[in-house]
Structure 1
Amino acid sequence: MSQSDTNSERLLVTSALPYANGPLHIGHIAGAYLPADIFCRYQRMCGKQVAFICGSDEHGVPILIRSRNEGITPQEVVDRFHFQNEESFARLGMSFDFYGRTSSPVHHETSREFFRELAAKDAFVLKNQEQLYDPEAGIFLADRFVKGTCPKCGYEEAYGDQCENCGKSLSPEELVNPRSALTDAAPVMKETTHWYLPLGKMQPALEKWLGEHKDWKPNVLGQVGSWLQDGLNDRAVTRDLPWGVAVPQDIAENAGVDATGKVLYVWFDAPIGYISATREWAEREGLDWQDWWKSDDSRLIHFIGKDNIVFHCLIFPAMLMAHGGYVLPENVPGNEFLNLKGRKLSKSRGGAIWVHEALEVFPADYLRYSLASVFPETRDTDFAWEDFQAHVNSELADTLGNFVNRTISFADKYFEGKVPALAKPSADDLATLAALEGLPERIGGLLEGYRMREALHEAMGLARMANKYINDSEPWKTRKSDLVACGNTIHVSLQICAAL
């Protein structure tokens, strides 16, 4: 955490909790993690108090499916991928202040406290409904326990919570020809009882709040607007599953419900993971976590991919509103998808470039730079190894590296490693120095506006201009014919190096 005596404003930045059912791929990094890391590093340079929070999302159906397929416990699955992903983040240079996990006792306690508070305020609706049930496995088919045909695009391998082909959010009952992902059996309908968050009732409050944030990214507002236009429905916040945060027994008993096998829906407990991780971090640092979540001088910013927009812009804010006392997100800079030559990167389908494998071959800065060059900030973008090669060789090495190396070498060899004085500068010298004026403010403005890729391009534009300047000035010639002019060139070039 960075602190400034003159700036009491707190900046709480989160990146979407990666699912601990597999390794990280480069699409994850380009969507929610590297943009947030760049943003936080800049804010710390500006003297802001920053808490950069992330962690593993360790509940939900995909983890259960993997544990069943591999014949191991869900805890063994999340332990494996939590530590692998945490190491990948560290090797990639992610500057998290805390990286937690939702299987921790603190998280379970925090989630149940949150659920109890909402129940105490009558924020839930209790419903008896028939849901899909696998008669062979003896389990309700929540979310990804069921597959079928997407009613929107016809994709035959859509999940019960989302179609990975068209991106539509689904419920299991919407699938055409559903089947169990566990046994391939045709499901039957069976009655069960669950708690729901009445989003429709809360829609006016959400619309009022969102109306105060018309400066958010168009892709974010567009997706949220579509959901609001269709009208929000009650959203289940519990599931019948053998893995997750157990529904508080006292709340179930008061409602006359058998809590056996009932857990909090992963998309109820996962965003609470931001709160529980902040609690653990604050305890470690000797701070009060509530200063970050319940203070008017705290700004909350969520970095996510577009598949998480609805949860962070509607469902989690609704939860915070229903609870009361929490700050709401100031911004949710959601990015689109990074594809691999037009194909979607997918953990579940296994088609991806895995971060831990890429880091075995390439330095982290190569990956960071190339991914930042193609951030999918406003639309889906593509990653290609040919582009990666060009980013590293043509831009990092030939443009930036070559300029800096030539400048430093000249200063060290011919000016005793010192910055030469600027004496009788030429028009080109002055014009080049003038180009530096306002550059930090321009790049800072882009970073503040979550336009990371444009900020990088602005910086590399300066490097290209610098190369042209030093080539046109030819200090290797003026070193012999006009040492003052040579010194001016190196002076200006060192100023550019400092700016870069």
Structure 2
Amino acid sequence: MNSSKRYLITAALPYANGLKHIGHLAGAYLPADIYVRYLKAQKREVVFVCGSDEHGTAIPIQAKKEGTTAQAIIDKYHPIIKQNFEDLSIDFDIYHRTSAPLHHKTAQAFFKKLNDNGDLEIKETEQYFDEAAQTFLADRFIKGTCPNCGFEEAFGDQCEKCGTSLSPELLINPVSTLSGNPPIKKLTKHWYLPLNKHEDWLREWILETHKSDWKTNVIGQCKSWLDGGLQPRAVTRDLDWGVKVPVEGADGKVLYVWFDAPIGYISATKQYCLDNGMDADLLWKDKDTKLVHFIGKDNIVFHCIIFPIMLKLYGDILPDNVPANEFVNLEGDKMSTSRNWKLEMQDYIDDFVKKENGGPQLVDALRFYLTTILPENKDSEFMWKGFQDANNNELVSIFGNFVNRSFVLMHKLCKGKVPPLHAALLDTKDQALITDIENAKISIEKHIETYKFRDALFEVIDLARKGNKYMQEKEPWIVVKTLEENPENQRLIDNCLHLCLQLTANLAIFINPFLPNTAQKLCKMMKVVDKMLEWQNGGRIKLLSVGYSLRAPELLFRKIEDEEINAQIEKLKNGVKEVVTGTSNTKASKEAAELVVEKTQIQFEDFAKIDLRVGTIIEAEKIPKADKLLKLQIDLGTEVRTICSGIAAHFSPEEIVGKRVTVVANLAPRKMRGIESNGMILMAENTEGKLVFVNPDDKVENGVSVN
């Protein structure tokens, strides 16, 4: 167990230039919230900070798109994003904003200390300048022809059509987006942070000190940067939007957003401490504080190399861990605002949470599915059918089913009260369940402490699965029929339901970091206060007192119907069609139509990542309580793979044994109904809506690659 006195947890500051999608939620905010809820259940001292990043060129660019001011943009999106997080039960201790006067003061003081100490360098360089607008141009305010694909509307930092990273110098025929005129090169002075002077200690700190406890993707990206050699990086830029540079000779200059934004963690902490009578320096300067940054992979360099340099120079603590996640794709494609291929938090809230049959249970349904697909080591995939299956087959059929059966039988067979436990009659099945409860706590703790939230949640659901199996083996509804002949058998019923109810109380504790609304509902049903959810209570079987009456059962979750899922898939497709055809009524969508790439168009490099192999189905069986799933054993020549496939409605197990199939062999493993599925078989849908196999030639051997 970690011995830190206090914890300071940060989640990446989202740009307040538009709505945020569920990929953002899964990347940084949900895992951070899970971790913080766990720490608080442990009664550890923890502060969880976040806030809107309201500077940088993204804000004035969005203002230009919407025909308004930068201030109006941040004032519009900051409260929406903040409310989205609250609606999805992301519980920050403070959600601040970098436009706040306290942040400007904090960022300026940070810059001034580094500058006064001689930690910054001043250089003159040539940059693009718009003579008509009389301003230097940020990369995003320059457009031209992409040298890679020939797209004529490429930005100075990236081509939105082919995705190539660019610099303004690479554009063909560059023009200013402000005036439409070709820019000129003009000398300008800027302050730089000489990253190259810090390579030695960074290499030791990252590649030696943290090589065993940081994620491999984080270590790998940092090593790549260090091996390539660090270069001085500008900390100021010519812009009229941002934190003003607080030194003479810096008129018209602001702090670069990459320098300004992470200081937002410090200013947010200061505001929280001011509001709660605490000392911010104790959090940021005391070595007994454990600082953890939750971010997406695009922020690794800033949080593992650049910000630590800043912190070390300023005299603050360094992060203990930076558990960065990869990206979440949507229905087989990268999320894209310009192509309208996205699922925004606001959309989910409107379509599910705020509906008549929505509410907190649908908040937890999203949190559950996103946790099961968290991109902890590689990019993952949000699939609407996957969301439906996770909710219906795991939350409803396993977790909710166990709790509901326990309560129904308790009311029916034990007069609505917690029955006694007759220790002398405990058998091996009873003892095994008690051991399972104790072991689950240990395993869940281990996984959460090491930021393996997917594995931790699996342990919770697996414990509920074991509860269902235990109850099925004990069959109290059968035992009750023997009471007239043998009244002593009531004690067997008592033991079964006593343990099932104690397991329910443990499930409330264990599920709380992941599904807080479900935990609260369980507390209500058990008539216990929130104190029971403290982590120290987990693993025990004396949480509910004998003779204590419990409320009638309430369904924890509802099934999500096919119609709801089909509507979302259709909505997604229609959104893309609107952008492609330019029929969307919004100004932003019409502008985006010029940049859209059809979903079917991918780069060869994307296709080359897919490993397609020929295989033969050698075994097939139905998965209990999963109407759509078959468990397949597929011979791939050098190995036999277990793959779960949602084809049970179209094929019986007997008719597909011996079928040749094409398998996506390098798909990330996913646990389905407790079974780890390692791959996916390719299917097609005919005009009648029937699935058919994509069969390779029988002459092709198993394991051969499909090119």
TM-score (norm 2): 0.66
For 2:500, the equivalent position in structure 1 comes to 493
- Partner secondary structure for residue 359 of structure 1: helix
Question: Which digits, 9 at most, give the CA deviation of each residue in 1:20-39, with x for residues without a partner?
Answer: 00011100000000000000
* Structure 2 partner of 1:399: 398
User: Is the 8 Å Cα contact of residues 440 and 463 (structure 2) preserved in structure 1?
Assistant: no
Select between 191-200 and 142-151 the one with higher mean Cα deviation: 142-151
Equivalent residue in structure 2 for 1:343, among 333, 337, 358: 333
How far apart are residue 135 of structure 1 and its match? 4.2
Q: Based on CA coordinates, which of the two structures has the bigger radius of gyration? A: 2
Is structure 2 residue 202 aligned with structure 1 residue 203? no
1:492 & 1:149 partners in 2: Cα distance?
69
User: In 2, Cα distance between the equivalents of 1:170 and 1:333?
Assistant: 28
Deviation at 1:184, TM superposition (A): 5.6
Q: Deviations over 1:213-259 (max 9, x none)?
A: 112000111111111111111101011111000111xx2x2xxx3x2
* Deviations 1:249-306 (CA, angstroms, capped at 9, x unpaired): xx2x2xxx3x222100001000000000000000000001111001111111000000
Q: Where does 1:311-322 land on structure 2 (aligned, <5 Å)?
A: 311-322=302-313
Alignment-derived partner of residue 329 in structure 1:
319
State how far apart, in whole Å, the 1-side matches of 2:180 and 2:458 are.
Answer: 50
Q: Does 1:89 align with 2:85?
A: yes
2:27 aligns with: 31
The answer to whether 1:49 aligns with 2:48 is no
Match of 2:413 in 1: 414
Q: 1:154 to 1:462 in 2, by over 3 A?
A: farther
Partner of 1:434: 435
Deviates more, 1:405-414 or 1:336-345: 405-414
Partners of 2:170 and 2:130 lie apart in 1 by 16
1:154 Cα deviation (Å)?
9.0
Cα RMSD over matched residues? Answer: 2.3
1:112 alignment partner AA: Q
Give the partner amino acid of 1:232. Answer: L
Asked whether the 8 Å contact 1:148–1:159 carries over to 2, the reply is: yes
Per the TM alignment, residue 385 of structure 1 is displaced from its structure 2 partner at its CA by 0.8
Aligned counterparts of 1:166 and 1:213: Cα–Cα separation in 2 = 36
Residue in 2 aligned with 1:123?
119
CA drift of 1:467 comes to: 1.5
Match of 1:64 in 2: 60
1:31-89: CA deviations, max 9, x gaps?
A: 00000000000011111100000000000111101112222111110011000000011
**Relative to 1, partners in 2 of residues 1:263 and 1:281: Cα closer, same or farther, differing over 3 Å?**
same
Residue in structure 1 matching 2:350, options 339, 360, 366: 360
Alpha-carbon contact 1:419-1:491 (below 8 Å) kept: yes
Is 1:139 the counterpart of 2:135? The answer is: yes
| Larger RCO of the pair (alpha carbons < 8 Å, separation 6+) | 1
- Structure 2 Cα separation of the partners of residues 14 and 153 of structure 1: 39
Alignment-derived partner of residue 232 in structure 2 = 234
Is this contact kept in 2: 1:141–1:172, CA < 8 A? no
Give 3-state SS (helix, strand or coil) of 1:334's partner. coil
CA shift, 1:309, in A, is 0.5
Paired with 1:84 and 1:333, the residues of 2 have a C-alpha distance of 26
Paired position in structure 2 for 1:213: 210
Tell me the amino acid that sits aligned with residue 420 of structure 1. P
**Preserved CA contact (<8 Å) 2:198 2:309:** yes
Contact 1:142 1:172 in 2 (8 A): no
Q: What's 1:3 paired with?
A: none
TM-superposition CA deviations, 1:428-473 (whole Å, max 9, x none): 2222222222211110110010111111111111122221221222
Mapped contact 2:146–2:152 kept (Cα < 8 A):
yes
Local SS of the residue matching 2:351: coil
Task: Give 1:360's aligned amino acid.
Answer: D
Pick which of 353-362 and 214-223 moved more.
353-362
Equivalent residue letter for 1:121: N
> Larger deviation: 137-146 or 125-134?
137-146
Deviation at 1:171, TM superposition (A): 4.8
Aligned length: 487
Alpha-carbon distance in structure 1 between the residues aligned to 2:231 and 2:103: 27
Q: Percent identity?
A: 50
Shift of residue 339, structure 1, vs aligned partner? 0.5
Change (3 A) 1:496 1:327: same
Task: Write the distance in 2 (CA, Å) between the matches of 1:86 and 1:176.
Answer: 41
Amino acid at match of 2:376: E
Does 2:103 correspond to 1:113? no
User: Contact 1:279 / 1:289 at 8 angstroms: preserved in 2?
Assistant: yes
Q: Distance in 2 between matches of 1:402 and 1:260?
A: 65
State yes or no: 1:475 paired with 2:465: no
CA distance in 2, matches of 1:92, 1:380: 22
TM-score by length of structure 1 reads 0.92
